[in-house]
């Protein structure tokens, strides 16, 4: 069994933004149930002992936690490379300086669109874009590397060239152009978000050209939506293979969306060590490797490349997390994805909200 390379620390589900494709579960954890600073410090130590090299401090919005500086320092004390995944709207110069002093290594800033009106409609927060631009400036002035994360979909893909310009103007060294993945809130908003085939093809052309044009200045990562694909993505690099997440309430997850799979029970850091969760828990071993696979995955030449695709998507679309991901053309249910694309179109957002 390999060691996990990265820990996704979901510090809180609280967030001032309300993005309709949020990867948090539809049922959000309230602040009173969140792990304490001390509990997170223990989790970081256990993660490092297990072999983790880096921690992504995420949410929700991680800076919504008053102890974000102490949490960052604890991660650094554990010897982990620290990446803050933030919407940037709560960052100010004082907090930035304290985070740098605590040992923060990298910032990943989300941007919902290149134009403020579109960005603020998608994120559901007025004034957010100017605060994000200011946050990008503070990160750069602090001397930290900046990655911009742009989640793209039917309602902002027309602005992809402008999003690339934004990354250059804001001084990002890396831009993630990530098509929405459809679980949780995103699945609830699928009709409003799914791109057309023409939009996807345009986006792929634009990214390919921009990679060439900005070589040496901007690295562009590109995550495609598998609703238009013939083979699924190797979700999480394989279940329980090199990644683990801890939810705000302490549940240890093989994938950030795993709580969407009804009936699965996940270990909790309040009762179980991270090592025990990783090595021995039923939740991590259930879909590890290839032994669990049904036909047509069993014996398929791609089994150790895509690991049968995404368990959360199989559950969300088929009600069976052990089924072949319907994103695979060999799945008997593959046509349902093309049907969803055909049905997508004008629809209002259902915004992320507590309660």
Q: Is 19 annotated as a binding residue?
A: yes
| Contact characters 222-251, ligand SF4, x per CB under 6 A | ---------xx-------------------
Does residue 312 belong to the site contacting ligand FES (CB under 6 A)?
yes
The site that binds ligand SF4 (CB under 6 A) totals a number of residues, namely 14
The site that binds ligand FES (CB under 6 A) totals a number of residues, namely 10
Q: Is 15 annotated as a binding residue?
A: yes
Separation of alpha carbons 87 and 107, rounded Å:
10
Q: Is 297 annotated as a binding residue?
A: no
HEC letters along the chain: CCCCCEEEEECCCCCCCCCCCCCCCCCCCCHHHCCCHHHHHHHHHHHHHHCCCEEEEECCCHHHCCCHHHHHHHHHHCCCEEEEEECCCCCCHHHHHHHHHHCCCEEEEEECCCCHHHHHHHHCCCCHHHHHHHHHHHHHHCCCCEEEEEEECCCCHHHHHHHHHHHHHCCCCEEEEEECCCCHHHHHCHHHHCCCHHHHHHHHHHHHHHHHHCCCCCEEEEECCHHHCCCCCCHHHCCCCCEEEECCCCEEECCCCHHHCCCCCCCECCCCCHHHHHHHCHHHHCCCCCCCCCCCCCCCCCHHHHCCCCHHHHHHHHCCCCCCCCCCCCCCCCHHHHHHHHHCCCCCCCCCCCC
43: nearest Cα among 254, 245, 242: 245
Q: Among 5, 173, 300, 322, which residue sits at the site for ligand SF4 (rule: CB under 6 A)?
A: 300
Q: Among 296, 333, 350, 351, which residue sits at the site for ligand SF4 (rule: CB under 6 A)?
A: 296
Q: How far is the CB of 331 from ligand SF4 (least distance, A)?
A: 7
Q: How far is the CB of 181 from ligand SF4 (least distance, A)?
A: 16
Residue 25 interacts with which of ligand SF4, ligand FES, none, CB < 5 to 8 Å by class = none
Residue 152, strand partner residues? 179
Does residue 310 belong to the site contacting ligand FES (CB under 6 A)?
yes
Does residue 324 belong to the site contacting ligand SF4 (CB under 6 A)?
yes
Residue 257 interacts with which of ligand FES, ligand SF4, none, CB < 5 to 8 Å by class = ligand FES
Does residue 309 belong to the site contacting ligand SF4 (CB under 6 A)?
yes
Does residue 297 belong to the site contacting ligand FES (CB under 6 A)?
no
Q: How far is the CB of 229 from ligand FES (least distance, A)?
A: 14
Does residue 178 belong to the site contacting ligand FES (CB under 6 A)?
no
**Segment 203 to 262, residues that bind ligand FES, using CB under 6 A:** 235-236, 255, 257-258
Choose the stretch contacting ligand SF4; rule: CB under 6 A; options: 1-9, 116-124, 238-246, 293-301.
Answer: 293-301
Q: How far is the CB of 259 from ligand FES (least distance, A)?
A: 9
Give the residue numbers of the binding site for [4Fe-4S] cluster. Answer: 15, 19, 22
> For binding to ligand SF4 (CB under 6 A), which residues are involved?
231-232, 296-297, 300, 302-303, 306, 308-309, 324-325, 328, 330
């Amino acid at each position: 069994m390999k060691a996990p390379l990265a820990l996704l620390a979901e510090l809180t589900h609280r967030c001032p933004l309300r993005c309709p494709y949020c990867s948090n579960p539809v049922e959000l954890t309230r602040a009173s149930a969140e792990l304490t600073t001390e509990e997170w410090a223990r989790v970081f130590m256990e993660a490092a002992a297990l072999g983790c090299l880096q921690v992504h401090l995420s949410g929700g919005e991680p800076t919504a936690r008053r102890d974000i500086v102490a949490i960052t320092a604890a991660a650094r004390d554990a010897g982990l490379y620290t990446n803050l995944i933030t919407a940037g709207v709560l960052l100010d110069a004082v907090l930035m300086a304290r985070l740098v002093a605590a040992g923060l290594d990298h910032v990943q800033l989300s941007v919902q669109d290149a134009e403020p009106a579109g960005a603020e409609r998608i994120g559901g927060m007025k004034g957010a874009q100017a605060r994000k631009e200011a946050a990008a400036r503070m990160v750069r002035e602090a001397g930290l590397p900046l990655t911009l994360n742009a989640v793209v979909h039917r309602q902002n893909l027309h602005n992809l060239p402008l999003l690339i310009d934004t990354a250059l103007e804001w001084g990002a060294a890396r831009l993630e152009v990530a098509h929405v993945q459809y679980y949780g809130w995103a699945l609830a908003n699928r009709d409003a978000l799914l791109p057309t085939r023409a939009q996807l093809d345009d986006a792929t052309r634009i990214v390919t050209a921009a990679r060439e044009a900005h070589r040496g200045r901007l690295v562009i990562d590109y995550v495609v939506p598998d609703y238009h694909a013939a083979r699924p993505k190797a979700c999480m690099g394989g279940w329980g293979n090199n990644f683990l997440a801890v939810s705000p309430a302490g549940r240890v997850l093989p994938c950030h969306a795993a709580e969407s799979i009804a009936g699965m029970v996940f270990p909790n850091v309040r009762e179980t060590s991270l090592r025990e969760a990783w090595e021995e828990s039923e939740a991590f071993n259930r879909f590890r490797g290839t032994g669990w696979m049904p036909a047509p995955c069993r014996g398929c030449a791609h089994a150790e490349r895509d690991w049968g695709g995404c368990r959360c998507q199989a559950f969300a679309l088929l009600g069976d997390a052990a089924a072949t991901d319907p994103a695979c053309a060999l799945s008997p249910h593959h046509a349902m994805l093309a049907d969803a694309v055909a049905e997508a179109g004008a629809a209002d957002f259902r915004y992320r909200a507590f309660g």
